[in-house]
A and B are shown apart, each in its own frame.
Chain A
Amino acid sequence: MAIDWFPLWLSLRVAALATAAGLILGLWLAYLLANREFRGKELLDAAVTLPLVLPPTVLGYYLLVLLGRASPLGKLYEAVFGGPLVFTWQAAVVAALVHSAPLLVKSARAALESVDPSYEKAARNLGAGEWRIFWRITLPLARRSILAATVLAFARSLGDFGVTIMLAGNIPGRTQTVAVAIYDAVEGGNGTVAAALAVAISAVALVILYLANRLSPKQVAE
């Protein structure tokens, strides 16, 4: 029988979108955590880390409560986009984002903090504003670590199961990502499909991890 590759494409698309959104959100949070002093900073850091340690089903449950059709946010989304968020592929993006962004924030914060502060001091002394310092000095110097973290976050988005199934459900051809499809196939006794998808996703993950290792900063200038 023909294998339906739709879950693989959906997963890749969802992961790409989640990573892009995660990069923007993650860099912003990482910048705040690395450079600013404010009350509740470490609490924010802990809250951001929470998704890394909570069971995915718990995350999914929270998201359902937060974004479900009865919640204010869910209603707002429905009013703006004309349809509910939950049980759509967009919900899968949100699920993957929540699942993977903490990794990005953590790594990006470490990367930004690892930049020798004397460069930022020098730039500040020369008259550069904080915005220019971030884009011209800090980010370029931390770019390899951040890129490596982004690739890892992409891989993590690809592998989410628990949050996705809670928030986006298991609708073949619409919200069924690879991880969910494999589960579905095994449950339905469809061994070939499960094996094919499992091998395919493993291969993709292997390539991604290889890339991430290549990108990790090995030789630091000077």
Chain B
Amino acid sequence: MIRARIRKSFPARAESAAFSLDVDFSTSLGVTVLFGPSGAGKTLTLDIVAGFVRADEGRVMLDEEILFDGATQVHLAPHARHCGYVFQNYALFPHMTMRENLNFAATCAGSRTRKLRLERHRKVNEMIERFRLEDVAGRRPNEVSGGQKQRCSIARALIGEPKVLLLDEPARGLDAPLRAELYAVLRQVRAEFGTPIVLVTHDLEECLELGDEMLVLREGKLVQSGQPVRVLDQPANVDVARLMGIFNILEAQITALDPANKTSRVRVSDFELNGPYFPGKLRGDRIWLCVRPELLTARPRDGKPGSNQVPVQLGRIIDKPGGVRLEFSGGIFVDMPRAEFEPGRHNKEWIVQFPPDALRAL
């Protein structure tokens, strides 16, 4: 488990603006995802934990060990931190075979723990077997497939029995089958090795698929943390909502609040909606109303709209793997299965239904 409080600033340079990272977080067992857009400081955070970059101040702890402490000038070298690191490009040594790559790691780790040669050899063989590298053990990285490279780099990082496995955007640039393979391997690592994993990504699906816990970073700040489904359900602010792929973000005003019945009423430009009770908000507050596109339903217009139904015009139709995303007038997005959409495809006038419980106020 990592507990970290990190501050690190970079002055503005000719090729980059000033940047400062200021985060305070802890990771759990299982998979913790560092999530955020490019330039949020995710990889920098990982590099500071791994010891490649020295923070200006703060403290990084791994289990009971202090890896970095600004006040007492503790800064352990990367190899003394028991952090396995998987690089974005795998960083398998191109002049060594798969087995030699693993051997190198075992020798380095062995000189630390004084493990016997035979023991190292056994360990390398075990890793080759567990990560299904038997057929390619004698080949160089440029002679094997992307999936094999990926497995080898994870195996190499695990050989020294690290206390945590850090992965920097492991799925970046991978096609769908390779991604699926990576997720399977990471689940295997979690199940068989029990090594906690910290993974950097800007991919929401990856985050939801793998993350037990997520930390949302934006512009060097931690903006929200929690279980991915929780964050998805209740984003902390509009920025997080956007990052989480919630496209319906509407300007609104609360016109009524009823704590007894746990209901509310909000006015959005030219229509009013019933919503749930919004704790901490007051009548008359201007809010951002967020609704996930998959929680809305739409149907071709067939009469007068009822309660919480809004008449709209169909704009763009965006095809997605799981169905279609419809963009309506007023910036309202609705996801629906393709089979449901097809019969009404040619209608211009639609009705969108807002389930009251799906509304979130930010």
Could you list which residues of chain A lie within 8 angstroms of chain B, going by C-beta atoms? 116, 118-119, 121-129, 132, 136-137, 140-141, 221-222
Contact = CB atoms under 8 A, between A and B. Distances in A.
B79 interface: yes
B112 A127 contact: yes
Given A126-B79, A127-B112, A118 B142 contact: no
Chain B interface bracket (under 10, 10 to 19, 20 to 34, 35 or more): 20 to 34
B78 interface: yes
B104 A128 contact: yes
Most buried by B among A116, A127, A128, A136: A127
Contact of B50 (A125, A127, A136): A125
A222 B78 CA distance: 27
Given A137-B93, A141-B95, 9 more contacts: A118-B89, A121-B85, A122-B91, A126-B104, A126-B108, A126-B156, A127-B160, A128-B108, A222-B142
Contacts of B109: 126-127
Nearest to A141: B95
Interface string B326-345: 00000000000000000000
A221 B140 contact: yes
B52 interface: yes
Given A222-B141, A222-B142, A123 B104 contact: yes
A137 B87 CA distance: 16
Contacts of A127: 79, 105, 108-109, 111-112, 160
State the main secondary structure of chain A at its contact with B.
helix
Interface string B70-83: 00000001110001
A136 B105 CA distance: 12
Contacts of A136: 104
B94 interface: yes
A143 to B, nearest CB: 9
Interface of B: 50, 52, 77-79, 83-85, 87, 89, 91, 93-95, 104-105, 108-109, 111-112, 140-142, 156-157, 159-160
A127 B160 CA distance: 9
Contacts of B87: 118, 121-122
B160 A118 contact: no
B160 A126 contact: yes
Given A140-B95, A221-B140, A222-B141, A125 B89 contact: no
Contacts of A128: 79, 104, 108
A103 B85 CA distance: 37
Nearest to A221: B94
A221 B140 CA distance: 10
30 contacts: A118-B91, A119-B93, A121-B91, A122-B85, A122-B93, A123-B93, A123-B104, A123-B108, A124-B52, A124-B77, A125-B78, A125-B79, A125-B83, A125-B84, A125-B85, A126-B108, A126-B156, A126-B157, A127-B105, A127-B109, A127-B112, A128-B79, A128-B104, A132-B108, A136-B104, A137-B93, A141-B94, A221-B94, A221-B140, A222-B141
Contacts of A118: 87, 89, 91
Contacts of A122: 85, 87, 91, 93
A90 B271 CA distance: 96
B114 to A, nearest CB: 12
Contacts of A132: 108
Contacts of B157: 125-126
List the 7 closest A-B pairs by CB distance, nearest first. A127-B108, A127-B79, A122-B91, A221-B94, A118-B91, A125-B85, A126-B105
Contacts of B85: 121-122, 125
Contact of A124 (B78, B89, B140): B78
B43 to A, nearest CB: 12
Contacts of B79: 124-129
A122 B348 CA distance: 57
A119 B91 contact: yes
Contacts of B83: 125
Residue among B95, B112, B142, B156 with max Cβ neighbours from chain A (10 Å): B95
A221 B89 contact: no
Contacts of B108: 123, 126-128, 132
A123 B85 CA distance: 10
Given A121-B52, A126-B105, A221 B93 contact: no
